[in-house]
Amino acid sequence: MTRTCLPSRAARRLAAAHEDRGSEAIAAAIVTPLLLMLLCLAIAGGRIVTSGAKVDAAAEDAARAASISRTYASAQTEAAAAAARSLNDQGIQCASTSTSIDSSGLAVPLGQVGTVTVTVSCTVPLADLLLAGVPGNKTMTSSFTSVVDAYRSREG
């Protein structure tokens, strides 16, 4: 009588393991670039959000500077200077900047509360935000309203 020798479980597992050789390397080669891309997108998003917060701070500084001015002309110049100074202090290099002011609150009679609203727009090259060589620009805009002291003299 002849006996046939069936492979044991261990032998079958060993044979199956040899068939799957290299599959982990292939999976790593596929997954690693995707994870790196996801990480880069998260960093890029964080940089853009941080820059937006810095433009918000510049708008706040500009509105405060405009609200303590006594005339329309000085409110405009003080707000533009404060916005530029704030952006520069925070390391934001704008390709173009615009500052618009609604200073109608300076014309309110003494004893009444007025407000001054400043809108700051900053166009930042994406190469500054993300990586060198990235084309394009991102325009960030922020507005802030500051209260004019009701009893401070003003020329309107």
Residue 92 lies in a domain: yes
129 touches 54 (CB < 8 A): no
**pLDDT tens sequence across 58-116:** 999 999 999 998 888 899 999 999 999 999 999 888 888 999 999 888 888 888 888 99
φ, ψ for residue 7, nearest 5 deg: -65, 145
Domains in the chain, number: 1
Residue 97 lies in a domain: yes
Q: What is the pTM of this model?
A: 0.74
Residue 29 lies in a domain: yes
Residue with tokens 């166009």: 123
Distances (CA, A) of 33 to 40, 76, 131: 10, 50, 17
DSSP 126: H
**pLDDT tens sequence across 104-130:** 888 888 888 889 999 999 998 877 666
The length of the chain is 156
Can you give the residue range of the structural domain that contains 80?
Answer: 9-148
Tally Cβ neighbours within 10 Å of residue 16. 9
